[in-house]
């Protein structure tokens, strides 16, 4: 499996929340900040309010897979933070992918 860079540190999350641009839809909130690099990085946040650990990890795996499969369609050099909303716990893969690509289009990072 191909590994990709992810955002893990709390300071990085806070910096992107503070200085990045955000858009939201029914299922997710997305923050974008230019990282002046050659690769995209993703950070995924799922609150305990969304569900138990099984549900939270399922949503995280779905979003990671969506990012991995659509990475070649995105412009390079962005830090992306995805915050999962409570409505997502009943959503399937197709709905989540549609929501993700919709927000990427709003941010203008789709090729």
Residue-wise pLDDT for 59-85, tens only, equals 999 999 999 999 999 999 999 999 999
Q: What is the pTM of this model?
A: 0.92
Q: Give the CATH fold of the 1-45+77-111 domain.
A: Ribosomal Protein S5; domain 2 (3.30.230)
Helices (H), the chain: 10-19, 53-70, 93-107
Q: How many helices (H) and strands (E) does the chain have?
A: 3, 4
Mean pLDDT of the region 30-35 = 96
Average pLDDT score, the chain: 94
Predicted confidence band of residue 2 (pLDDT cuts 50, 70, 90): low
Helix axes 93-107, 53-70, angle to 10 degrees: 50
């Amino acid at each position: 499996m191909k590994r990709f860079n992810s955002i893990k540190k709390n300071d990085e999350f806070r910096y992107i929340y503070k200085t990045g641009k955000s858009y939201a839809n029914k299922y997710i909130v997305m923050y974008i900040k230019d990282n002046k690099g050659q690769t995209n990085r993703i950070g995924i946040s799922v609150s305990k309010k969304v569900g138990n650990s099984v549900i939270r990890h399922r949503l995280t795996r779905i979003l990671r897979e969506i990012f991995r499969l659509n990475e070649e369609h995105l412009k390079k050099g962005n830090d992306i933070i995805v915050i999962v909303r409570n409505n997502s716990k009943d959503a399937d893969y197709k709905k989540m992918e549609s929501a993700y690509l919709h927000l990427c289009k709003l941010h203008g990072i789709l090729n």
